[in-house]
Structure 1
Amino acid sequence: MQQKFKKSYKFAIKTSLYISIFITLLTSVFLFLSFTLSFWYIGILFLSTYSFSFLIIQFSVERFIYKRVKKIYDDLTLLESTNLAKGTITTDMKTLTKEIDKYARDKKIEIESLRVRENYRKEYLGNVSHELKTPLFTVQGYILTLLDGAMDNKELREKYLERASKGIERLGYIVKDLDMITKLEVGDLSLNVEVFDIVELVKNVFDMLEMKASKKKITLTFDRAYNESILVRADKERIQQVMANLVVNSIKYGRIKGTTEISIENLIKNKIIVRVTDNGEGIAKMHLPRLFERFYRVDKSGSRKEGGSGLGLSIVKHIIEAHDEKIYVESEFGVGSEFSFTLEKVE
């Protein structure tokens, strides 16, 4: 496709003016010294010099510049610079410099974005591979042991089958949670928004996790007595999932005979904030920025004392953001953690 050429006369006009003034002044001095100075002569000399200089500069020097500028445009077009490819070729250096600078900035941002995505893709695939590999190898190991003869031992058979079942259950958690995160990210998971009592929902979560908490003698409690309902507008099932994930984490990393406390406070006129506070292990500050990433490990050893998919906090973040709300975390290592999120309040 033939490029359009946008002429720029600034260079020729300015340069011709400087040359004309110089020659006119020089000739005026010469004529003055020769005692034949005339304003008519000066005017004609100025216009003649200016016209000649303008034509020479505009059609020769600009052509010289144009060939080199066009090569720059052609090279950038090969790099798929759509903005430059669609525009006209200009020989105005100021405009050209701005366009090249903008192109360079855009390409730098694009390259950085691709580099971040590539690193994220590698890390994500590595994490998925690791999370799937661990339970798969566990299940495979127990089944092969049973096939090698342990099946005849009733006690070992039941023991290994139970452990293999837990490994398969772990795989199910991972696949189910990955599917949910994918749907949340692409906006394919619709929210069933309704009005419900958040206090009642928290009580249901407490009842559901009471047995799990009792194993570590952890107390699940409110910060105060909530005698009246607090109505919110959200997807009840998803918010229950958020609460359950946060309470399970507080139990998992809580200390023996510790406490998990829920508080519900008014934030602004139509917002409340729900806080889940524990006095467990706490999280070092260096981990907080990446805490909601998929499979991110605070414990780099790779061992997991508890089950789960490793996607709980990532799902929590996606669910809250799907409601156009915010989630926060504050923690001090060795002291405890507090996760909080906002919800729309119904008066």
Structure 2
Amino acid sequence: MSIATSVLSELLQSIPYLRPQLYFKASLTALSHAMEDQVLAATLEQPLVIASFQRERYYRQEAHRYLRLAQRSNQIYVLSAPETDFTHSSEAYEKIAFELEDALSQEWHLVVIADNYATCLVCRESLGSIAKSKQIPEFNPSLDTDTSRRFEGIWTSERGVSVKAAELLLNRILIYRPDLASKIQYARQRFGIGETKSYSPVNQITEFACDIDTDPFVQRLVTYLQASQYKLHKAYRSITAQARKERLVNSISTAIRRSLDPHEVLQIAVQELGQHLGASRCLIYRAQATDAKATIEHEFLILGVSPICGQTWELKKNPLFQEVVQQGEGVCVADTMNDSRVTKSAALSSIAKKFAIRSWLIEPVLYQGRLLGIVELHYCNLPPHQWQSGELDLVKAIATQMGAALIQAEAYANLEDLNQQLEALDRTRSNLIAITGHELRTPLSTIQVCLESLASEPDMPLELQQVMLNTALADSERMRKLVQDFLTLSNLESGRVEWHPESLTLQECVDLALSRLRARPSVEQPPPIKTKISQNLPLVRADGDWLVEVLAKLIDNACKFTPPEGEISIKATRNSKQMVEVTVADTGRGIEPNRLEIVFDRFYQEEGALRRTTGGTGLGLAICRQIVNGWGGEIWAESTGKDQGSQFHFTVPIVKGSEEEKRLKVKSK
């Protein structure tokens, strides 16, 4: 069953002179608590108390008070619309559960009737407040008790009005709980509820005037009003602090949007954060979890505090930093003089003493669990700084913003690198098209001319026929080598090459490379080649075929750029890194110093793709670099400039263990 009639409406119809007032929830809470405390302050009376709550959630906030009221009287009635476990019961006091459609669900009632006083509070929530509460998400019911809710109704200490309100509520209770008829009848008889009387302001003053000590009620009411004022002041302070926090976070966010320079963003952050929190010193520096040291890059200082910017900060021996790395959260030291983490660490004690740090906060700058940097706040004044939760939350929020800024800057830098790689790839593609077209078209044209001549001129002299055949064979070999270089480099770069390392003598590999060069037909006479390989050189460990390939290509490259009157030398020595360093030097054209690295790029041609005087595809040195990197060595070029000759160096690992014994055995054979 549900009752649509409003108790407030019935009360106003019964007593026409009553005029409803507008109340805010905070005021009604203070009034109701004062009325309840007046009952608790009494010692002998057993008053009638009727309280009607709109919802069970509001009743739960006051349930502990009604357990205390039940110790003062057995005439306690509590009404509420159930939401979970609120139901009809008669335990410490009477509970009456009404339906949510009942008009009581929109009202708030509290009636207290004693022998020498009576008060009542009968209110109905305003329509605007109800509409607002319906817009609040159900998952956050605490927002329903917002103090901005408004009610219209009656609060009075007139006994006749209170008795009438009690009568209306008792009638409503009887409808839901007929089993309480005898108990309610006793209350009616004792307090004169239900007697026929005419109500007017004059009758109320003359008939029910009595000597009542209202001081307890007034004192309680003032206490609750002061408490409400304090809560309001606290809320204003919280709003102000939140506004300052938002301004700080917004300033950092603006800096991030305005600039992709992490140095600028972090400098703004350190200044804003240090000023906002009143720190003596604020530090921000880059650091990763595995770093042993870090350089202080950004700092905020107040006057009289010694600077740290530019100094190196020990991290590996810093227990606070290690705790941050392990937990992934900030570490707060309220007093460095009494904190065991500081006093037990000689390094931290020294830092705290040297830089006068009394209170210390270390907050990590994280992005998806990855440590990017550290924010430190130092307070050097007495007494030690008392950290507030809002301060810690603010530092964490700023650290999150800085993490996003650093990742954004890193992503931008990676994007620039990627663009450079794409540009290089585009240049490679253009070179590939140009070089391939030139290198393939030229020998194909020559082969075609030679074959057409042989086919169309059957009476051609034998000597000329032999020249034609030799020319076609030489150009077909040139094409074969071009295709072979393409396939070799592709296999090396894609990792499809199977390495077969073995113990080798470098002299044998040099001899094989030179024999390959001599066996190749050549139009021009190559320059003289000298070898300087020490006999006591240890064995090297590499794939023999690929080592010979590297030597052959470096020698071939030297021959291309060295005139016949020049000289090529091959030498090898053992360096201090357990490697053999091989050098192929020439007295030829030389290399500009700014091109010493790019000569190893694919398709690099010193004279350009289409106007060079030497053959080749520009893949030889790129292939050499891939091979040397494959066995863990290094390759580089040296030259003092144009026409000053060049030297190409590469390293090969030495055989570990008894390489000297193996070398001697090979030598004896």
TM value normalised by structure 1: 0.69
- 2:527 and 2:566 in contact (8 A); partners too: yes
Distance 1:146 1:268, change over 3 A: closer
Alignment match, 2:234 = 51
SS of 1:275 mapped into structure 2? strand
Q: Partners in 2 of 1:338 and 1:140 — Cα distance?
A: 34
1:137 Cα deviation from its structure 2 partner: 2.5
Alignment match, 1:341 = 650
From 584, 588, 592, give the equivalent of 1:280. 588
Q: Partners in 2 of 1:315 and 1:102 — Cα distance?
A: 38
Alignment match, 2:551 = 243
Alignment match, 1:35 = none
Distance 1:217 1:323, change over 3 A: closer
Q: Partners in 2 of 1:287 and 1:173 — Cα distance?
A: 26
Matched residues, number: 290
Alignment match, 2:600 = 292
Residue 181 (structure 1) aligned with residue 489 (structure 2): yes
Q: Which moved more, 1:265-274 or 1:119-128?
A: 265-274
Residue 220 (structure 1) aligned with residue 403 (structure 2): no
SS of 1:341 mapped into structure 2? strand
Alignment match, 1:233 = 541
Alignment match, 1:99 = 403
1:317 Cα deviation from its structure 2 partner: 0.7
From 295, 312, 325, give the equivalent of 2:633. 325
Alignment match, 1:133 = 437
| Bigger radius of gyration | 2
1:166 Cα deviation from its structure 2 partner: 4.0
Q: Partners in 2 of 1:61 and 1:339 — Cα distance?
A: 64
Alignment match, 2:513 = 205
From 270, 292, 296, give the equivalent of 2:578. 270
Q: Partners in 2 of 1:196 and 1:121 — Cα distance?
A: 37
Render the CA deviation track for 1:142-172: whole Å, top value 9, x for unaligned: 4665798884234677656654554443333
Query: Match for 2:608: what amino acid?
Result: K
- 2:446 and 2:475 in contact (8 A); partners too: no
Alignment match, 1:311 = 619
Render the CA deviation track for 1:108-165: whole Å, top value 9, x for unaligned: 1232122112111211111111121113322554466579888423467765665455
What does 1:33-72 correspond to in 2, within 5 Å? 50-57=233-240
From 438, 450, 456, give the equivalent of 1:152. 456
Q: Partners in 2 of 1:144 and 1:169 — Cα distance?
A: 14
Alignment match, 1:75 = none
Distance 1:44 1:272, change over 3 A: same
Alignment match, 1:117 = 421
Q: Partners in 1 of 2:497 and 2:568 — Cα distance?
A: 30
Render the CA deviation track for 1:188-242: whole Å, top value 9, x for unaligned: 2121100011012212222332466994352211236x44564111111101000
Distance 1:148 1:131, change over 3 A: same
Query: Match for 1:124: what amino acid?
Result: T
Q: Partners in 1 of 2:577 and 2:615 — Cα distance?
A: 40
Alignment match, 1:254 = 562
Render the CA deviation track for 1:51-95: whole Å, top value 9, x for unaligned: 13244447888899999999xxxxxxxxxxxx68xxxxx986623
1:179 Cα deviation from its structure 2 partner: 2.0
RMSD in angstroms over aligned alpha carbons?
Answer: 4.0
- 1:173 and 1:309 in contact (8 A); partners too: no
SS of 2:600 mapped into structure 1? coil
TM value normalised by structure 2: 0.38
Q: Partners in 1 of 2:587 and 2:245 — Cα distance?
A: 75
- 1:132 and 1:171 in contact (8 A); partners too: no
- 2:443 and 2:478 in contact (8 A); partners too: no
- 2:431 and 2:609 in contact (8 A); partners too: no
Q: Partners in 2 of 1:316 and 1:277 — Cα distance?
A: 15
Q: Partners in 1 of 2:652 and 2:451 — Cα distance?
A: 53
SS of 2:638 mapped into structure 1? strand
Distance 1:116 1:158, change over 3 A: farther
Q: Partners in 1 of 2:452 and 2:580 — Cα distance?
A: 59
Distance 1:148 1:280, change over 3 A: closer
1:257 Cα deviation from its structure 2 partner: 2.4
Q: Partners in 2 of 1:217 and 1:196 — Cα distance?
A: 27
Distance 1:336 1:105, change over 3 A: same
From 182, 187, 192, give the equivalent of 2:500. 192
Distance 1:168 1:204, change over 3 A: closer
Distance 1:210 1:136, change over 3 A: closer
1:309 Cα deviation from its structure 2 partner: 3.2
Render the CA deviation track for 1:291-333: whole Å, top value 9, x for unaligned: 1001111113733444433211000111001111111211132
Distance 1:63 1:162, change over 3 A: same
Query: Structure 2: where are the runs of 5+ without partners?
Result: 1-225, 254-366, 369-392, 660-669
Alignment match, 2:73 = none
Query: Match for 1:152: what amino acid?
Result: S
- 2:501 and 2:544 in contact (8 A); partners too: yes
- 1:138 and 1:164 in contact (8 A); partners too: no
What does 1:164-175 correspond to in 2, within 5 Å? 164-175=472-483
Q: Partners in 2 of 1:64 and 1:94 — Cα distance?
A: 11
